[in-house]
Every structure is written in structure tokens, then in C-alpha cells.
């Protein structure tokens, strides 16, 4: 690098020889540096970035004109708190509404919430193997009711269907659920009402 250059590493911790960086900055070869990654990442927020983690950590921290940021933004206390709230909210939305937005291991499906002014409405959640003909069979089961809204998505071998149907008598809910449970492609069936 040219004398007076600035080095930024946000790719991989092993890309930069940190002792050579410390030496180059002390000699004035580099004017400054910013690092977001390290060979060994700190375990959390606090006094973890020491020589116990990396043998050169204290030398690196003693340099002027250096920016050190946590590669894993989720390792800060604030981020951990925010992640906890986000995960809890997502779980509550799944349990209460069947929504899977933001899921990493499920297809993402979301419908607007059912409201109390929609009596005799049922939300059907049908997780199934992603094979041909499933939607036709599901819609045959739902066909005696008005499908107000329906959404489906798939991810690999798993597919997810969510449908809101109206004019469902309470006495029909168990049969509706059982008819979906009996489909050979079924992984999991839920009915919210």
C-alpha cells in the first residue's frame, strides 16, 4: 500500500496480518485503519478484546487513528435485547395469527389479522410437503365455505398455506381440521378461530 493509505477490513478476520498492521501504523506507513473483523471475535460486549483473545489485541487497541467495530452487531447488549423482543414478537404472531414473516426455516406467509367484528371466521394454517395437487385437495376441503383470503408459499420441500374462511359454524371446525389432517401431504394443521 502507498504511504499514508487507510486500510479497511470488513471481510474476514484472517485477511489482514494484524501484527504487520500494528507495525505499519506505528512506522507511519498507514495513516489509519478500520477493522470490523478479527481472527478471533469477542464473545460479547465489554472488556473481552484483550490479549487473552488475540495475542496482539492490546497493541492494536493502543494505536491512534484506528476504528474497531464489532463484526457481529448482534453481540452488543442492545442488539441482544432487540433480538429477544423481535423473536418473541415473531413467536406471538405465529401462535396468534399464523404469520411466519422473517422465518429462516419456513416459507414466509402473512395475512392481515382477523378482527373481533368477523364472527364465524376461521384461519386455516396448513403446513405440507411441497408436492403437486395439494392445493387442489385443500381447496376441496375448504370449498363449502367462502375463502376470503388465501396465501401460500414454499421453501424447498416444505410449503405453507394460510386461508381465512367465513361462515364456519363452530360445530364444523373439528371436521374441517380432521379433513385437512387426513391429507397425505400434511405436516401440521392448525385452525385459529
Return the beta strands (E) in the chain as ranges: 5-9, 30-35, 66-68, 122-129, 146-155, 158-166, 186-192
Catalytic residue among 26, 58, 71, 78: 71
Reduce the DSSP state of residue 161 to 3 states and report it: strand
Catalytic one of 12, 26, 61, 188: 12
CA distance 182 to 176: 10
Active-site residue, from 41, 108, 129, 190: 41
On the CB side of 140, how many CA atoms lie within 13 Å of its CA? 9
Task: Tell me if residue 12 is catalytic.
Answer: yes
CB–CB of 193/121 below 8 Å? yes
181 labelled catalytic: no
186 classed as catalytic: no
Q: Which residues are catalytic?
A: 12, 41, 71
Amino acid at each position: 500500500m502507498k504511504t499514508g493509505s487507510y486500510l479497511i477490513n470488513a471481510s474476514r478476520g484472517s485477511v489482514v496480518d494484524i501484527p504487520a498492521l500494528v507495525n505499519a501504523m506505528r512506522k507511519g506507513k498507514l495513516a489509519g485503519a478500520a477493522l470490523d473483523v478479527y481472527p478471533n471475535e469477542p464473545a460479547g460486549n465489554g472488556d473481552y478484546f484483550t490479549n487473552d483473545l488475540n495475542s496482539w489485541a492490546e497493541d492494536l487497541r493502543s494505536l491512534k487513528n484506528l476504528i474497531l467495530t464489532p463484526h457481529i452487531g448482534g453481540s452488543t447488549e442492545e442488539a441482544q435485547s432487540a433480538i429477544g423482543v423481535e423473536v418473541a414478537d415473531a413467536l406471538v404472531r405465529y401462535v396468534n395469527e399464523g404469520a411466519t414473516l422473517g422465518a429462516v426455516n419456513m416459507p414466509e406467509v402473512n395475512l392481515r389479522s382477523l378482527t373481533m367484528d368477523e364472527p364465524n371466521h376461521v384461519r386455516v394454517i396448513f403446513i405440507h410437503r411441497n408436492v403437486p395437487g395439494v392445493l387442489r385437495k385443500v381447496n376441496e376441503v375448504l370449498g363449502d365455505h367462502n375463502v376470503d383470503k388465501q396465501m401460500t408459499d414454499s421453501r424447498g420441500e416444505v410449503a405453507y398455506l394460510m386461508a381465512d374462511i367465513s361462515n364456519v359454524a363452530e360445530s364444523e371446525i373439528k371436521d374441517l381440521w380432521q379433513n385437512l389432517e387426513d391429507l397425505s401431504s400434511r405436516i401440521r394443521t392448525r385452525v385459529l378461530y
